[in-house]
Amino acid sequence: MQKQKLIQACSDYLKDKINSLNTIINEVSESSNSESKSSAGDKHETSKAMMQLEIEKLGTQLKEAELQLAEFEKINFNKNFQSIEQGCLVETNKGHFLIASSIGKITVDDQIVFVISSKSPLALAFSGKQQKNKVSFNGIEYSIETIK
């Protein structure tokens, strides 16, 4: 698997998430602004307040996504890894893991990769391990095949 292709897929995923949140925020804002005042004033005010709460919630999600992308872009993926740490791609007998950011499952070239945060319990269990080491986590034994 090409690591650069995987990194680009992760970056694209995060950017798409940000774009989607921006689009939704704009749509909710437009809907809120275009809603005409009805004869039931309380109903209208309640509706506007609910839309405002939704915009605030989406704004928080947007800030988190932007922070996640900024942190992802700071990771050094080009290092020559001797042991498992942030930025490396770990191939095990149970699957492939990119230690980077909490993105989840991504498929690149028909290969599933789990993109996990370096602070996640599994990444912490992998941390510092080297090729051919074994890691037992939640009753599953992982055999580390390669570190890229």
For residue 78 the two structure tokens come to: 């080009």
Over range 30-35, report the average pLDDT. 74
Q: Which two tokens stand for residue 4?
A: 């650069």
Range of the domain at 103: 89-147
| The pLDDT of residue 39 | 47
- Domain boundary (74, 107, 135) is at 74
Q: What is the mean pLDDT of the chain?
A: 92
- Answer yes or no: is pLDDT of 92 > 50: yes
User: Which string of DSSP letters, residue by residue, matches 64-130?
Assistant: HHHHHHHHHHHS--SS--SS--TT-EEEETTEEEEEESS-EEEEETTEEEEEEETTSHHHHHHTT--
pLDDT digits (tens, 9 = 90+) for 119-145: 999 999 999 999 999 999 999 999 999
The total domain count for the chain is 2
User: pLDDT of 98-121, one tens digit each?
Assistant: 999 999 999 999 999 999 999 999
Say what the pLDDT of residue 29 is.
86
Radius of gyration from C-alpha coordinates of the chain:
21
Answer yes or no: do 131 and 103 share one domain.
yes
Task: Give bridge partners of residue 100 from the DSSP assignment.
Answer: 117
What's the pLDDT at 44? 65
The residue that leads in pLDDT, 89 or 33, is 89
Residue whose structure tokens are 């809120």: 32
Answer whether residue 127 is part of any domain: yes
Angstrom distance (rounded) from CA 133 to CA 25: 47
Secondary structure of residue 143 in the 3-state scheme:
strand
In a domain, 83, yes or no: no
Task: Say if 82 falls within a structural domain.
Answer: no
Contact between 6 and 109 (Cβ < 8 Å) = no
Do 26 and 55 belong together in one domain?
yes
Tell me the CA distances in angstroms from 9 to 35, 105, 130, 146, one per residue in order: 39, 11, 26, 21
